[in-house]
Amino acid sequence: MSDNENLQLDELEGDAKAHQPDSRPQSAKDLEAVYEVPVQISAVLGRATMQVSQLLKLGRGAVVELDRKVGEAIDIYVNNRLVARGEVVIVDERLGVTMTEIVKAERS
């Protein structure tokens, strides 16, 4: 083997680290590559659990009681991950959501 083929593991790791980009963006321009990536946003007013037989009995005008109280914050999910809590607002006769709290991600 030549000297070039006998690299130590720490030399390889050091070289790999030198080629890795910084994990933090330097500016908003660095994020332009992801601006057009679509994400699914869901605003969950509340949840309810019921049996299928109860579900089948529901008709027009039926009321389903949710696990939230009036005025309580709603959950905002991005791609099925909880990211914030907020309040329902009306904007130009349409329902909207305003974020009041950002939920920190739990890393596992």
Average pLDDT in the 92-106 region? 90
Residues 6+ positions from 68 with CB-CB distance below 8 Å? 45, 46, 74
Could you tell me if residue 12 is inside a domain?
no
Q: Read off the pLDDT of residues 32-69 as tens digits, 9 standing for 90 and up.
A: 888 889 999 999 999 999 999 999 999 999 999 999 99
* Cα dihedral 60/61/62/67 (nearest 10): 130
- Domain coverage including residue 92: 27-102
What total number of domains does the chain contain? Answer: 1
Could you tell me if residue 60 is inside a domain?
yes
Instruction: Please tell me the distance from the alpha carbon of residue 80 to that of residue 44, in angstroms, as a whole number.
Output: 11
CATH assignment at residue 55:
2.30.330.10
Could you tell me if residue 22 is inside a domain?
no
Could you tell me if residue 7 is inside a domain?
no
pTM (global) more than 0.85: no
Could you tell me if residue 107 is inside a domain?
no
Residue 8: φ, ψ to 5°? -80, 155
Q: What pLDDT sits at residue 58?
A: 95
Could you tell me if residue 19 is inside a domain?
no
Instruction: Please tell me the distance from the alpha carbon of residue 75 to that of residue 68, in angstroms, as a whole number.
Output: 11
Could you tell me if residue 8 is inside a domain?
no
Report H helices in the chain.
9-19, 52-57
Could you tell me if residue 3 is inside a domain?
no
Residue 94 tokens read as 């349409």
